[in-house]
Structure 1
């Protein structure tokens, strides 16, 4: 056994794994009776199919309980021929907030990695003791002013160390004068507020403290305050022009108050004034169009949302701020009122929030995740500046230096976050640090990766937390590594997960060199994000690591107490040479046993798994984990085992045993808002014996 591989297999080591779930590794060829064979399925379809199979069988990190399922919500192409397939988890039909996962698969139908958000197993009831009306009242109290309840209350499971049944309510309004779209999670048992998440990212000030448009395209002349004379893509229709991008779906710029794009009889926009809103739209549209192009040419991303779409921008917000609200960006003015908050790095930052939200795992929750979100905005702002090379805004790693928002210079300094009072180094306090300050460690990491600790060429030096010296690899390479790491993101994203993801990314993007990989690692070390158990190594492309697949046939078994069943456990060499694989099973219900014949195979061989139950085996459905413990790497798959009729769904609390009552089979009682039927009775049963009330009635659902 190689213990460092037990939790999360390295990217290169899992080549070909996905079809390990019992799928054929040959591309599917559909044939008609007499016609020629159809073309092989396209790479994305093969990758998606393999990922779906991995999610269905609970491959490696995709373990799930018997009442849990994964639903695919997106597929994003990445570099090196990989596809990142995102999933959301449900429990007894309820959405699991924080139970998401990502499967990395290649275009040949092989799973290369599995990643899931951190959560304990879910075994809760789904009956709410608190009414939806009470949950809504509680949610409304979280904002100073409420305009509307936009969604909910909806019952969900809030994942984490102790999963809980909760109502999710989306409340819109203002909080201390600032706009808010607040997701409030109210405990469905106690009525307490468990968590909140605001879609509005008020980045600028806080940091200092669908259909395609078919109208004709035009190339407008813009006079920006920050960017000077530029060209912007505008729309022409009936002799009128508008600040709506005809080529980049969803991208436009308009007035914050009217929510309308600017229009005119000519295609000339702005007068170069810092207070003119049309000028502000020139800067905002030019920056967002430039960011879109950078994403495509440098990173291979299709639009802001990764699916060929973007979001509108609005200028004229009456606040010393700029923000992303989950579906659009809005820009205010500097404190002295002389400038709109639309320099390229601020616009790029706000749309960076959109990228974070539309990559796997969404916007996430918590301060550490929020700090990584803020840092992501800063990174995309810098990438946009360096891509543009606009002579009116020399590219740099200072954030918001041109707007001078509150009269104290840049909002943040990526080379040295401490200059703005933010931490340069990761520490245990980061999860409790305000999100804009918590951006410091990853911003610092990115600068060191791109430029190094003493870059010269007009770039400032950057201190390291371990007194190391680092040579940067350039911002374009750094951006590719960061973005492809972001495609492995889950809702529980933290710095250590980001470290592993970017190491995997560097290894995949630059397979014939360890320079990039080693620099990624050194930069994380230099900001005090320490090594993670099981993280990948490079070693300058050593011989292919030995790897194998693991599959079950069948992958689900149903039997009555006292019966037994057999399952074939197959292995196959997917990389390198064969290795010894020790087989074991865990998660069996009480009174059941598992045996393998043989219990150890050479990869490429198979074994017979026998599941045996007794008359006293606990009835219900269990997810039995089958582990293949290899010499070089470990893999797991899940067997769905149902004993008896399954009993009540997991999480449904059966009635307590009442020894004074003389219940007989067929009696129906109400408990926890649902009907239960008695099918077994014994005066000698212990209190709480689940066999006393084993069958869940169809009269209700918990």
Structure 2
């Protein structure tokens, strides 16, 4: 059974609280505030006046993560929360107001974050040891800090413990473990460095245009038009490498189209990063992964026979293995680049926790946007499809995932059930992937771009699609405006219906199709 590629580092740094009345936003965040929107002071005032809606009291503080405004002045401010100075995990929320600061509602990950005491009964050292014991990798450090855990159930004081180390193949490994600071039991845990088997045989895009930089008489794979994104050769060094050798060339002609030339994989990786940047910029007006105009680093030829690709928030970089040369080639295809970079986008917006249903939704979001990168790049070598990882499979290898019928991979879920959250997040992502296909293309048999699909529904209904452009627009608005760290599939449905209403109107064909598609995958 194949497991899919993906490595991502989910940011887990503690957030310093500030007084609610003096909530501030960075210059980069403030720049996203459109002129017609409400001022931040008015949004803060609205939040204070309606604090009961999300359990705000005098022991809590909010810090601003992002600010956005619609054309009609509707303003959306995403806050993180602290309780008596401790970060609240699962306490994030999005406050919505009209242009004058009038209250329109809130989407909150939790509504009760109060705990009786912030004094732990369990020592930090004990929590560090407990957390380290949960690791299936060689631990190098286990670092606890106090936090309020409010992801599910009653809020509890916890030691939020970052466990870092090295995996079986020398790759970086890590997880965050929440140890109850009163009882010493493990409350929750999820990976912060997720390494899963990947596949790749890119190098099929033919001749493409790359944006390079001339420096000192030679050209560099540095894209000044996309935030200085750069592509480097990791020289088959450690899979935990964060820097490599910058690619340079004398005549600005890169690679040969063969994997025997080390530049060829770099061409595909570099083009994929540019295509992903352009997709987000032209489709959603997003200026880079964090919307701050900064490009990421790509490292190709990572490790030896490494069948993997990765994104890490820590180094703000992607790592691409060369594959095993038998079933999989270099992991540098368009949908891989789009998939991995989207983990960075998700981390910078909703912050979907990489566990249970929110983790499946996180994975599905990357598959959705990776698919859209293929479609919008519109290359002859890798035309858009609803298959994940099909272009880098060789020999007996095949697509990693099938969005029209996820269960075709032998493990993914087609339909939501009460147990779907217990699956590996790459398999629970099937619910979201199936939803996106149905919303885009509808149910039944059809052939698109030469690929045959036959998508069933879980309630025997017939679904009519609205096209992948509208479907992805609804998805992205839900991700950036309504979803929070603990959003599950039921919450995803609610958020997408709100997004569809915002974009197309209540009762529109797009709104009705969104509702029908969610019902078709068992989420009502």
TM-score interval for Structure 1 and Structure 2 normalised by the shorter chain: 0.7 to 0.9
Alignment pair present for 1:315 and 2:300: yes
- Which residue of the partner structure matches residue 661 of structure 1? none
Distance change >3 Å, CA 317–CA 147, structure 1 → 2: farther
User: What is the RMSD computed on CA atoms of the aligned residues?
Assistant: 2.6
Aligned with 2:392: secondary structure? coil
Alignment pair present for 1:201 and 2:194: yes
- Which residue of the partner structure matches residue 181 of structure 1? 174
**Which of these residues, 401, 406, 425, is aligned with residue 412 of structure 1?**
401
Aligned with 1:104: secondary structure? strand
**Which of these residues, 477, 487, 490, is aligned with residue 484 of structure 1?**
477
Distance change >3 Å, CA 315–CA 363, structure 1 → 2: farther
- Which residue of the partner structure matches residue 522 of structure 1? 516
Distance change >3 Å, CA 268–CA 115, structure 1 → 2: same
**Which of these residues, 427, 431, 439, is aligned with residue 441 of structure 1?**
431
- Which residue of the partner structure matches residue 246 of structure 1? 224
Is this contact kept in 2: 1:324–1:353, CA < 8 A? yes
- Which residue of the partner structure matches residue 137 of structure 1? 129
Residues 4-28 of structure 1: per-residue CA shift (max 9 Å, x gap): xxxxxxxxxxxxxxxxxxxxxxxxx
Greater percentage in strand: 1
Q: State the shift of 1:202 in Å.
A: 3.1
- Which residue of the partner structure matches residue 43 of structure 1? 35
Is this contact kept in 2: 1:455–1:472, CA < 8 A? no
Structure 2 gaps, min length 5: 1-32
Is this contact kept in 2: 1:132–1:153, CA < 8 A? yes
Residues 154-192 of structure 1: per-residue CA shift (max 9 Å, x gap): 211111313221222323222444432322222223333
Return the alpha-carbon distance in structure 1 between the equivalents of residues 70 and 268 of structure 2: 29
Distance change >3 Å, CA 505–CA 63, structure 1 → 2: same
- Which residue of the partner structure matches residue 389 of structure 2? 400
Q: If you compute each CA radius of gyration, which structure gives the higher value, 1 or 2?
A: 1
Q: State the shift of 1:124 in Å.
A: 2.6
- Which residue of the partner structure matches residue 228 of structure 1? 206
Structure 1 gaps, min length 5: 1-40, 209-223, 531-702
Is this contact kept in 2: 1:185–1:195, CA < 8 A? yes
Alignment pair present for 1:154 and 2:136: no
Superposed counterparts of 1:616-631, under 5 Å: none
Distance change >3 Å, CA 291–CA 137, structure 1 → 2: same
- Which residue of the partner structure matches residue 510 of structure 1? 504
Q: How many residues align?
A: 471
Q: Please give the TM-score of this superposition, normalised by the length of structure 2.
A: 0.83
Residues 256-310 of structure 1: per-residue CA shift (max 9 Å, x gap): 3361232233322222123544222211121121111111212232222233334
Residues 373-404 of structure 1: per-residue CA shift (max 9 Å, x gap): 11011001110011011000121000001112
Return the alpha-carbon distance in structure 1 between the equivalents of residues 416 and 506 of structure 2: 31
Superposed counterparts of 1:365-404, under 5 Å: 365-404=354-393
- Which residue of the partner structure matches residue 559 of structure 1? none
Is this contact kept in 2: 1:352–1:376, CA < 8 A? yes
- Which residue of the partner structure matches residue 334 of structure 2? 344
Aligned with 2:157: secondary structure? strand
Distance change >3 Å, CA 111–CA 403, structure 1 → 2: farther
Return the alpha-carbon distance in structure 2 between the equivalents of residues 457 and 308 of structure 1: 38
Distance change >3 Å, CA 248–CA 124, structure 1 → 2: farther
Q: State the shift of 1:342 in Å.
A: 0.9
Distance change >3 Å, CA 462–CA 42, structure 1 → 2: closer
Residues 551-594 of structure 1: per-residue CA shift (max 9 Å, x gap): xxxxxxxxxxxxxxxxxxxxxxxxxxxxxxxxxxxxxxxxxxxx
Residues 432-472 of structure 1: per-residue CA shift (max 9 Å, x gap): 11110001111001011111114745352311111111111
- Which residue of the partner structure matches residue 284 of structure 1? 269
- Which residue of the partner structure matches residue 295 of structure 1? 280
Return the alpha-carbon distance in structure 1 between the equivalents of residues 265 and 162 of structure 2: 31
Residues 298-357 of structure 1: per-residue CA shift (max 9 Å, x gap): 223222223333422222223211122223222213333562111111111111211111
